[in-house]
């Protein structure tokens, strides 16, 4: 899939006119809430998504199915109702998979077999076979699958995607990304379960964004390594180079960040200008164009956008898609492309 074709197919009509299209949907009269349940709660994004669903005008949170002690603790803290898997599939129209990574694909398949739309936490699968099985079943049953990448609806990324799609940056020849954290020693064993290490768990956010900009890579070269002085096997200092016809993406990831503020940035360089989002959160976006284009002037300028709250617009768009009001920004084919690229960039496929 070529870059421009990929970007065009991921854009909705609303996205062409606003950087915050899902928010605009909330201005309309509120329809009936959609029954949503959670299969798993222990993934790091699980608790805030459960809390969001419990307060959302779009969703009726029917409960959480997670019998683990950690899952029970999360539900008690949030005041979320705990339910069985049988009740979950009987009551929910949409299932959000927020279990441990090793269970993501298996739980998504359970929900799809039960006839439920799925919000699937990233990474969606640890093998290409599992990723393909999820997408194939969703397609067969005509159900939605939405990947849980937390920056897909970030207004800074949306502005960059639109600028690329409209050609305002010219021909993109380089994407650079950096994402880090200071991973506590107690969690390193958890992440070490996968040979892609912290690139698989954390770096996948950048891989998703790079695919949104450039489409399908021709070749991918992963460099995953264990450089931290810890008594574990976690590959914690990683790099992936994605090659395209006339462009390259270079993505860095490390779990060895010093200090409490992680370094996270994303930059797109084209023949007519650059777009730099650094830091990604809370978000500072600078365009630097050779000539005025679209809403942007010539030269460097900082772009203002609304404060971003993770997950809100993901679930707003998902509700609109379930109601048939608009398609998801990312199609099933594109979800599979992202999953495949993540695995290859982590040396797992």
Would you kindly state where each structural domain of the chain is located, as residue ranges? 31-148, 151-308
The answer to whether residues 225 and 219 touch, using CB atoms and an 8 Å cutoff, is no
pLDDT above 90 (res 57):
yes
pLDDT at 59 over 90: yes
Mean pLDDT (the chain, rounded): 93
Indicate whether 127 pLDDT > 70: yes
Q: Are 64 and 82 in contact (CB under 8 A)?
A: yes
Query: Dihedral (C-alpha) 335, 318, 163, 295: value to the nearest 10 degrees?
Result: 180
Give the pLDDT band (50/70/90) at residue 131. very high
**Residue 28 Cα to chain centre, angstroms:** 26
CA nearest 286: which of 160, 196, 186?
A: 160
Q: What confidence tens digit (pLDDT) does each residue in 181-214 have?
A: 999 888 899 999 999 999 999 999 999 999 999 9
CA-based angle 315:319:321, to the nearest 5?
Answer: 115
pTM of the model as a whole: 0.91
Beta strands in the chain (DSSP E): 34-39, 59-65, 94-97, 117-121, 145-148, 172-180, 219-225, 237-243, 248-254, 264-270, 273-277, 285-289, 299-303
pLDDT at residue 90 tops 80: yes
pLDDT at residue 278 above 90?
yes
C-alpha separations of 237 from 242, 252, 318, 341 in Å: 17, 8, 34, 19
Overall CATH class of domain 151-308: alpha beta
- More reliable by pLDDT, 10 or 209: 209
4 pLDDT more than 60:
no
Q: Are 348 and 195 contacting, i.e. CB atoms less than 8 angstroms apart?
A: yes
Strand partners, 251: 177, 240
Residue 224 contacts residue 192 (beta carbons within 8 Å) = no
256-285 average pLDDT score: 94
The domain made up of 31-148 is a member of CATH 3.40.640.10 = no
Per the listing, tokens 């060895």 go with: 256
pLDDT band for position 12 (cuts 50, 70, 90): very low
Tally of CB atoms within 10 A around 184: 9
Higher pLDDT pick, 336 / 19: 336
Evaluate if residue 14 carries a pLDDT over 80.
no
- Rounded CA separation 268/126 (Å): 28
Percent of the chain with pLDDT over 90: 87
Pick 217 or 4 by higher pLDDT: 217
Reference 177, options 247, 122, 260, 253; nearest CA is: 253
320 or 184: which leads in pLDDT: 320
């Amino acid at each position: 899939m070529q870059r421009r074709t990929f970007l065009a197919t991921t854009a909705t009509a609303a996205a062409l006119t606003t950087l915050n299209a899902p928010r605009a949907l909330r201005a309309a009269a509120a329809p009936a809430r959609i029954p949503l349940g959670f299969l798993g709660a222990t993934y790091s994004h699980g608790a805030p998504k459960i809390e969001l669903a419990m307060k959302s005008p779009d969703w009726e949170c029917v409960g959480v199915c997670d019998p683990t002690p950690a899952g029970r603790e999360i539900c008690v803290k949030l005041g979320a109702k705990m339910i069985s898997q049988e009740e979950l599939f009987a009551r929910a129209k949409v299932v959000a998979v927020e279990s441990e990574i090793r269970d993501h694909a298996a739980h998504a398949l359970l929900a799809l077999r039960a006839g439920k739309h799925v919000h699937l936490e990233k990474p969606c699968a640890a093998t290409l076979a599992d990723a393909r099985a999820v997408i194939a079943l969703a397609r067969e049953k005509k159900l939605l699958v939405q990947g849980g990448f937390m920056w897909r609806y970030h207004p800074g990324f949306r502005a960059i995607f639109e600028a690329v799609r409209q050609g305002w940056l010219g021909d993109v020849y380089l994407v650079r990304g950096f994402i880090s954290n200071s991973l506590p020693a107690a969690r390193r064993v958890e992440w070490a379960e996968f040979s892609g290490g912290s690139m698989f768990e954390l770096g996948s956010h950048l891989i998703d964004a790079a695919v949104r900009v450039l489409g399908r890579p021709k070749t991918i070269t992963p460099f995953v390594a264990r450089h931290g002085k810890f008594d574990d096997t976690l590959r914690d200092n990683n790099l992936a180079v994605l090659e395209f016809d006339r462009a390259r993406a270079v993505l860095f990831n490390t779990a060895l960040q010093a200090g409490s503020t992680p370094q996270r940035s994303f930059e797109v360089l084209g023949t007519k200008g650059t777009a730099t989002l650094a830091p990604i959160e809370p978000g500072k976006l600078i365009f630097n164009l050779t000539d005025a284009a679209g809403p942007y002037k010539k030269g460097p300028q900082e772009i203002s956008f609304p404060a971003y709250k993770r997950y809100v617009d993901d679930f707003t768009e998902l509700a609109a898609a379930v109601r048939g009001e608009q398609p998801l920004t990312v199609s099933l084919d594109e979800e599979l492309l992202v999953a495949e690229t993540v695995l290859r960039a982590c040396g797992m496929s």
